Structure 1
């Protein structure tokens, strides 16, 4: 896939947001499964690494973003400050503490699949980073990585139907992140499992009703993220045939159902999700177009839509509102360069 790369200026801009937030404990949207009074503890004790950035999963992908930016541009603005955070948070004891939280009874569904996928994506990013200490920091995550990998097959085995919503529970998004991890880390059995499951969930889809999107707090497109997943498991000719039946509105260069979402109030922590939707759609549209190739009749339309979606929300990452600032830059990075190298 050919996509743009983060520039050093963009990397410095995006990294500045997790730099401000990874060590910010409050306000905190604490989704917590408690067993008794003793479990009622502050975020920094419940989650020894991922206690900042408003909530657990945002903290995880904030670390993914910081790692991606440092890996791309070790000379970026704020690089020394950013790199100095890792030994403070990524300790062996903290990694065990994160795994212990997930392993406790009753927490088998916690952060599934969004947080699971982002933890695996962070692990993959650390595995690709040539920093001398990156392997040590990934080792810190391996206890939690192992817990998630052990649970993924049984989760998919019992998930009779995919979850197509445009928020954290979306199945295709979690599978995209897990597939990226499995390919980077070279786990062929996991790649095969995800490919089989994706075909079972989405392989027979036709006439996806994209005109019903978005819901008012979506940050993912249920239609496009599923299509991006299929583009990652199919060869281009097979995907082009599938896509023609799935979103036929783009046949012969048609305009299709997707236009940039309008964000009415960036002070609203749910409403600002629509900025994330625009950015994640840009990522999906570019990835789909790249698989279709430049000669496909939908290619130019999809690329133009990606540009307009990105332009609608990229200027607003630094809104001054924590509800958006703690997470949106991650999706800006996806819009610009995707997951893959």
Structure 2
């Protein structure tokens, strides 16, 4: 089950609509005075659409990735126009100023932070004539996020293992990819040290308790995916064998989550869980020996999860359509 041009086009159509869609809007906003009572677009002139700030960020990531991977994508001109309209130095300076206002040290920590650096990485990889200009406008915000990452994970004593935006492993995975792309040794070492501190000693992880009713990430699998990138190829299989020793017996992890209401903004998270699980499973399987039974178990489970979730990505339900295509992209992309 690999991403096709038609699927990429269908996915790209969703953020192309949603990134200018200011309302409904779920804002997480610290008011320092009455002057801060403003519209979402006034607060966030770039990332005001897609229902919430972080979904807007990874909506742009999705567009840049689709455009980069598929030069014949029919929405190329629309994507360029959208970036040109929003990614100005003035607009991104306002985004930075929002972060730097009092009381916002934890704004979008760490999920939105991770998607900012993932977007920067994607713009850097995209051979579009304007991509470097858009990236240059982002760089002050990227530098702010990088500084916050270094500070935060140095003082975060314990991993946050929930299956929602506060999950530590998911953010560390995206940040590690960015650090390695930029050859940022300081940032890479900070991520690796945090990952080993949090997860290296894990064993017999209680994955049979997953999922929670509104999760879109697997705490078990995101940590394993991160460690598959952190540990050497000859070390990771032994770590994984201790971490989830009888994988085939963990039915609630290996089978797709049931989604009872695709229009409910929280319950619909479980569609994203099924996609993000598949993303993790495919990549973990590739880092295990071919004859390891866990590799086949994970590959088969990934297919079941994709089959369960894919019909609900383009569904007409804004609760899912404003963000699910990003995770469908991750689930369907080939594994390097």
Where do 1:267-278 residues align within 5 Å?
267-278=263-274
The residue number in structure 2 matching 1:60 is: 57
Match of 1:297 among 293, 298, 311: 293
Residues 219-268 of structure 1 deviation map (CA, whole Å, 9 limit, x = unaligned): 00000000000001112221100000100113xxx343411100001011
Instruction: Tell me, in whole angstroms, the C-alpha distance in 2 between the residues paired with 1:215 and 1:167.
Output: 10
Q: TM-score, normalised by structure 2?
A: 0.97
Residues 297-339 of structure 1 deviation map (CA, whole Å, 9 limit, x = unaligned): 211111000000011001111221111110000000111127x
Instruction: Tell me, in whole angstroms, the C-alpha distance in 2 between the residues paired with 1:293 and 1:121.
Output: 29
Instruction: Tell me, in whole angstroms, the C-alpha distance in 1 between the residues paired with 2:15 and 2:289.
Output: 35
Where do 1:45-84 residues align within 5 Å?
45-84=42-81
Three-state SS of the structure 1 residue aligned to 2:235 is helix
Residues 175-225 of structure 1 deviation map (CA, whole Å, 9 limit, x = unaligned): 011111111121111111111110000000000011100000000000000
The residue number in structure 2 matching 1:219 is: 216
Residues 120-162 of structure 1 deviation map (CA, whole Å, 9 limit, x = unaligned): 0000000000111100011111111011111111101110100
Deviation at 1:6, TM superposition (A): 3.0
Matched-pair contact (CA < 8 Å) for 2:10–2:314: no
Instruction: Tell me, in whole angstroms, the C-alpha distance in 2 between the residues paired with 1:63 and 1:27.
Output: 19
The residue number in structure 1 matching 2:146 is: 149
The residue number in structure 2 matching 1:330 is: 326
Match of 2:260 among 264, 281, 295: 264
Does 2:34 match 1:37?
yes
Instruction: Tell me, in whole angstroms, the C-alpha distance in 1 between the residues paired with 2:311 and 2:249.
Output: 25
Match of 2:15 among 10, 15, 18: 18
Residues 86-117 of structure 1 deviation map (CA, whole Å, 9 limit, x = unaligned): 11000010111111100111111000000000
Unaligned runs of 5+ in 2: none
Three-state SS of the structure 1 residue aligned to 2:293 is coil
* Closer/same/farther in 2, CA of residues 118 and 336 from structure 1, 3 Å limit: same
Where do 1:108-127 residues align within 5 Å?
108-127=105-124
Unaligned runs of 5+ in 1: none
Deviation at 1:5, TM superposition (A): 5.5
Three-state SS of the structure 1 residue aligned to 2:234 is helix
Instruction: Tell me, in whole angstroms, the C-alpha distance in 2 between the residues paired with 1:243 and 1:165.
Output: 20
Matched-pair contact (CA < 8 Å) for 1:127–1:185: no
The residue number in structure 2 matching 1:183 is: 180
Match of 1:96 among 93, 96, 102: 93
Deviation at 1:282, TM superposition (A): 0.1
Match of 1:281 among 277, 282, 286: 277
Matched-pair contact (CA < 8 Å) for 2:50–2:56: yes
CA RMSD, Structure 1 to Structure 2 (Å): 1.2
Instruction: Tell me, in whole angstroms, the C-alpha distance in 2 between the residues paired with 1:12 and 1:293.
Output: 35
Residues 27-76 of structure 1 deviation map (CA, whole Å, 9 limit, x = unaligned): 00011111000011101110111011100000000000010000011211
Match of 1:242 among 232, 239, 242: 239
Match of 1:163 among 160, 165, 174: 160
Matched-pair contact (CA < 8 Å) for 1:11–1:69: yes
Three-state SS of the structure 2 residue aligned to 1:204 is coil
Instruction: Tell me, in whole angstroms, the C-alpha distance in 2 between the residues paired with 1:310 and 1:236.
Output: 27
Aligned residue pair count: 334
